[in-house]
Amino acid sequence: MDILSDDGTQLVENLKNWEEMFNRPRYEKNVDPHDVNMVRILSSYEMSEKNTCGLSICKQPHNKGFLVLCKRKSGSALPLETNIGSVCGANIFGVTFKEQQNSYNRDLNTIRYRTLIEDSICKVGFYRERIHKMRKIDGGDRAYALVRNLVDAHGIQFSLKTKLERRAKLGNNSVSAFHKASKRDIELEESMKGRKLTEAERADLTQEIPLGSIAGVRAIIDYKLVKSELVNELPKLLSDLEALKPEELHFTELTMWSKRLDGLDERFIKVTDYIEDCKRFSLESNIQFIKENIEWI
């Protein structure tokens, strides 16, 4: 399909196969590069099968290349289209080909970014609903408040908080008790070996007894993100987005916005995970487990 870029430049989207290219009305094969000036790249392609380069001096079989628009130096005023392999383009047309590639990529990205922004603007209402649902119906606000109260209202001591934060960073939720070998255990082992034990051998006699695991330990760090995302960052992004006029944005603004919108759905999924962590962490039984086994955390 032919599409137009911002300045009315013609671009061609998704050439699926060679036939589609060869059937274009202006397409010509065996084009002598000395007879034409390259005007611009219309499209890039990556075909499953190889076919020859459209330039008469090349004809190299390839899969990846560009559909280009050329002006004839003499004869018909009608422009023609041909195809050039991605390697030979730069070899034959030199630095201008690189420039053409850059401007083609920029034109294509302009269209992509603007489409992304327009699509996202259409989804603002849906995203707002989603935030509301996550906060009020799925219990995001309540889960955040429960963990915050535990942390801020000293439900959890400062030293324990630091230990839990370290565990959250390491993703380590299992808790074990370690019992050093008793004097008697050591004596028994030494009499069996018929010699004194080394320090390392004594350490090896320490017994590890698994006690259980802390549910949702990451909540100790992530609870703040539940609030910052659902109350501050995401609503701010949506109001900024809503105020945009995509048709008036220049390339740098489009690029900035495409980065800002990148991974938006993944952000919502992450916040859902944070909320689940907060819920699991703040369960009475979990807090009880933490308090009972505090010396091993």
**Of 31, 88, 175, 234, which lies in the binding site for Zn ion, with binding defined by CB under 5 A?**
88
Q: How far is CA 209 from the centre of its chain?
A: 40
Shortest distance, position 56 Cβ to Zn ion, whole Å:
10
> Is residue 58 a contact point for Zn ion (CB under 5 A)?
yes
Asked if 53 touches Zn ion (CB under 5 A), the answer is: yes
Under the binding rule (CB under 5 A), the answer on residue 33 touching Zn ion is no
- Output 18 or 268, the one with its CB closest to Zn ion: 18
Between 60 and 272, name the residue whose CB sits nearer to Zn ion.
60
- Provide the minimum distance between the beta carbon of 91 and Zn ion in the complex, in angstroms, as a whole number: 8
Q: Is 241 in the site for Zn ion (CB under 5 A)?
A: no
Q: Which is nearer to Zn ion, 85 or 140 (CB)?
A: 85
- 41 belongs to the binding site for Zn ion (CB under 5 A): no
- Binding Zn ion (rule: CB under 5 A), the pick from 56, 60, 173, 176 is 60
Contacts for 84 with CB less than 8 Å, ≥ 6 apart? 53, 54, 55, 58, 65, 66, 68, 92, 93
Task: Give the per-residue contact string, 169-208, with Zn ion (x = CB under 5 A; - = no).
Answer: ----------------------------------------
Stretch that binds Zn ion, among 69-77, 84-92, 150-158, 261-269 (CB under 5 A): 84-92
Q: List residues bridging with 83 in a β-sheet.
A: 67
d(CA 163, CA 161): 5
Question: How far apart (Å, rounded) are the C-alpha atoms in residues 116 and 158?
Answer: 45
- Cα–Cα dist 10/3, whole Å: 6
Q: What is the DSSP letter of 206?
A: P
Number of H helices, E strands in the chain: 13, 7
Alpha-carbon distance of 28 to 89, in angstroms, equals: 16
Residues lying near Zn ion in the complex (CB under 5 A): 53, 55, 58, 60, 85, 88
